[in-house]
Structure 1
Amino acid sequence: MSAQNRFAQAVQDPASALPQGLTSKGGQNDPLRFAVYRNNVHVSLVTALTRAFPVVRALVGEEFFAAMARVFVAQTKPSSPMLFQYGENFPDFIADFPPAASLPYLSDVARLECAWTRAYHAADDPILTVNALAGLQPSNLLQSRLALHPACALITSRFPVGSIWHAHRQSPPAALGSAGPETVLIARPGLDVVVTVLPHQDTDFARAIMAGATVGDAATASANNADFDLGSALVGLVSLGAFKPSKGNKA
């Protein structure tokens, strides 16, 4: 194991001994100083989670969140040098964290917040516009597969996660407008990330088209819903910035 790897392992594991050959300016081993450095790294990771999951923190409270984050940090080390990417597996951790079992929707809220962070840092690709689709013949449109914009994500939950997220973005929290399952689109059509609860009748269509189905096949997936309208569903997704121009369509 290289000296760099030994140093990283010692920083991440409080039970590890001081790395061999690491000394202070005076040439002495200084485990107390290294412990301070190790603690600073731990605190920085907890702080990164606190910033990335503000609604989760609001739902459980500062004390509970800090305790949960400390347990996660002790078990999970960064896999990327980019600190904003830390916590991608925090939702799965929450789902299996016994003290959070009384809040079964919490992990889905965390997934939404992960998607928000990814959208915020996604590439600045152009957005497919409604005008770009208007010139397509209906048959060509139905056979088209639309390319997802890198900022776009879809969160499906048996809980009203979009309404919960919106309600707890303010203090005090707003009243929930929904109590049932929700499918949420996260996109960045401009400078700001937008979180939208999709109409119930559009969810099957959105899931299918974002999984790679053609527009026609995605419409067929929603055929059993009497309220589904292909035109309004497609225009809605395009207007929200869900897609980017591809070979068959230009912005």
Structure 2
Amino acid sequence: MGDLGDIQRSMARTILGQEADDSLLGAIKDDHLGPAARLRIHQNNFRESLSEALLGIFPLCQALVGELFLRQALRHFVLEYPPVDAALYAYGRDVANFFGIYSAAKSVPYLADVARLEWYTHELANAEEAAVYEDITAAQAAHEAGMGFALHDNARVLDSNFPIYDLWQALSGQITPDDLNIEDDGQTILLVLHGGQVFYQLLDAETAGTLAKLSGDQKDITIGSAMLEELIDRGAIKPK
């Protein structure tokens, strides 16, 4: 039997799809199943348990591409992006990026942004809600004094080349598929956690541009009083 550390590392590699080496096979009890069959059980349990957990985070993706396609895609994902910590609720951040390069998803290029929208929803729903900044007078004075603002902890912004807000409405049953034109211009969504619920707001180009600058930590941003009031009212910003 080999060194325990070597066996553990070999086990991890094998779970992720590599061939088992002799030291690992020799460490496994050889009965009627055999070492290789025992390892396949662990491989299958790893893929199925993680992909099943992820399936519940992305119901709109499932509505878009179907359960069979999504399950298969997530099985590939867990092998490419295995968990790096024990917090299962935080696992899945890279699904959107994975769909952006997943060859089987080339025919649905907007799948990545739908997954990103769902991840932001999941992330906010599991976050501790922070206090909302509401003092417009103080905000205006702070802005005039050169104080910077940043995207609020309760907020996320998704800027898409696709009509992502319309896609969200169609996939969640708020509009019919006939009302959706995927060839329409891109849209930007502001997601805000308020009262334990995530709300979705379609942003116009000016508001989206201002939030993009804030999110990018751009210096010397000038925000008019009306825009500042709107961003505070939306729950989108906080003082730095």
With the length of structure 1 as denominator, give the TM-score of the two structures.
0.77
Residue equivalent to 2:170: 167
Which SS does the other structure have where 2:148 is aligned?
coil
| Identity of matched residues, % | 25
Number of aligned residue pairs: 230
Within 5 Å, give how 1:21-170 maps onto structure 2.
Answer: 21-23=27-29, 31-129=36-134, 132-136=135-139, 138=140, 140-142=142-144, 143-170=146-173
SS in 1 for 2:197: coil
Partner of 1:240: 234
Q: For the residues of structure 2 that align with 1:37 and 1:96, how far apart are their CA atoms?
A: 27
TM superposition shift of 1:125: 2.2
Taking the aligned partners of 1:109 and 1:155, their CA distance within structure 2 comes to: 10
SS in 1 for 2:221: helix
Please report how far the alpha carbon of residue 33 of structure 1 lies from its aligned counterpart in structure 2 after TM superposition: 4.0
| Gap runs ≥5 in structure 1 | 220-229, 247-251
| CA–CA separation in structure 1 for the residues paired with 2:83 and 2:34 | 27
Per the TM alignment, residue 134 of structure 1 is displaced from its structure 2 partner at its CA by: 2.0
Q: 152-161 or 75-84, which moves further after superposition?
A: 75-84
**C-alpha distance in 1, partners of 2:226/2:53?**
39
Of 7, 14, 21, 1:10 maps to 14
- 2: CA distance, partners of 1:90 / 1:201: 30
Q: For 1:174-232, what per-residue CA distance to the aligned partner results, in whole angstroms no more than 9, with x for missing partners?
A: 63388221111122122011221112331111211233346x7243xxxxxxxxxx344
Structure 1 stretches of 4+ with a deviation exceeding 6 A read none
Offset, 1:42 = 1.0
Q: Compared with structure 1, are the counterparts of its residues 81 and 151 closer, same or farther at alpha carbon in structure 2 (3 Å cutoff)?
A: farther
**Partner amino acid, structure 2, of 1:10:** T
TM-score, length basis structure 2? 0.80
SS state at 2:119 partner: helix
TM-aligned CA deviation for residue 60 of structure 1: 0.8
CA contact (8 A) 1:151 1:188 kept: yes
Structure 2: which 5+ residue stretches go unaligned?
none
2:194 alignment counterpart = 189
